[in-house]
Copies of this chain bind each other. A is one copy, B any other.
Amino acid sequence: MTDSARISINGARLWQSLMDLAKIGATPKGGVCRLALTDLDKQGRDLVVGWAKEAGLQITTDKIGNVFMRRKGRNNALPPVVTGSHIDTQPTGGKFDGNYGVLAGLEVVRTLNDRGIETEAPIEVAFWTNEEGSRFVPVMMGSGVFAGAFSLETAYAAKDVSGNTVKNELERIGYVGDEEPGKHPIGAYFEAHIEQGPVLEDAGITIGVVKGVLGLRWYDCIVTGMEAHAGPTPMALRKDALQVATKIMQEVVAIANRYPPYGRGTVGFVQVHPNSRNVIPGTVKFSIDLRNVDSERLDAMDREIRAFISETSKTSGLPISIEQVSYFPPCPFEAGCVDAVAKGAKEFGYSVMDVVSGAGHDAVYMARLAPAGMVFIPCKDGISHNEIEDTKPEQVEAGCNVLLHAMLDRANAMK
């Protein structure tokens, strides 16, 4: 056992902070609406920064409004071990998505303060601007600018539906800092988060050790048939675009099932033309979403769907186009960080399993810059981005204990 064994966070205090922050933008149905860079976001930011100051942390803000809250280490020349997430929410969001990762970080610091524990490397808690992307695109804006995925200018120019820019809104709420995004050193990065999926709950497991984040390939697919009257056109003379499209839709799922356990295949969007009860569909446009945690397997899935479509076009005689419209490579987390999370869970005897994240997180961009890892806790019915998003106090506490120990492991290992 390490010298950090058996140190536990204060679960009640963490829960109370979550509930207090959730009051800002609270919705009647028990959720939270606190869109990025609104007055409510400012109130939320101010509350968290106030708590950080009470805990003695030193605040730095960068030009895209990312906030870093620092607890000094014994050797402040070392890059800090950082944890964080975001406090903006979806329009009908919940209390935990993002907020949990930020307040779990704050609770780690409060616990270390309570115990008077020093770490070798400094520890920081960050919150990243506009992770949700509900008001401004692109999503994961603050961490994306920080990681150089797109420019500060691009982010500044983004407009909401009313035409307000990110730059103006950042200035208005007073969160444009001096620091150049990305110039802030990061020794390692951890993020605690609700799973936003059903796996942990379904398996009855408390802690998910996140091995990585699924890569994805998004496609638009169009099948072109011949629109004709449903009555007078015999089956043999039809060019029914929907019948061909549905074969492909079935294959999308079949492909995912051939790449277990992390293959995913989804058709979420379908548009039939002319979409009339007694007309054979002339055109069907639909989306394909393929995901996997491993690049080679995701590439193999890509080859399989393209081959199937090519073959289906040949056998049906109907033109079928497929165009990739988005690609995020899989993001495996660094082995050392993954191990630190697993070790933390083991020290507390929590039930644990390896999982992957199906959704994007700020940690994906951080993984481009530093060793990174994530801790997942279950959420009720796997539901997130929803006002009924929920999780249990004991799970919230467990995830934070694991975060604490993973960070201590890393911070003290840095020399």
Contacts and interface: CB of A to CB of B under 8 A. Distances in A.
Contact of A197 (B198, B233, B247): B233
Nearest to A246: B246
Interface in A28-72: none
A291 interface: yes
B269 A272 contact: yes
B267 A231 contact: no
Contacts of A360: 231
Interface stretch (A11-19, A165-173, A256-264, A297-305): A256-264
Interface size class of chain A, counting residues whose CB lies under 8 Å from the partner chain: 35 or more
Contacts of A278: 218, 266, 268, 289
Given A195-B232, A234-B261, A270 B287 contact: no
A384 B382 CA distance: 51
Interface in A361-387: 382, 384-385
Interface in A237-253: 237, 240, 242-243, 246-247, 249-250, 253
Nearest to A252: B243
A256 B359 CA distance: 42
Contacts of A262: 234
A228 interface: yes
7 contacts: A198-B237, A199-B232, A235-B264, A266-B280, A268-B280, A269-B276, A269-B277
Given A195-B232, A198-B237, A232-B358, 14 more contacts: A198-B234, A199-B237, A230-B291, A231-B264, A231-B357, A231-B359, A232-B359, A232-B384, A233-B358, A243-B249, A268-B275, A268-B281, A269-B276, A270-B270
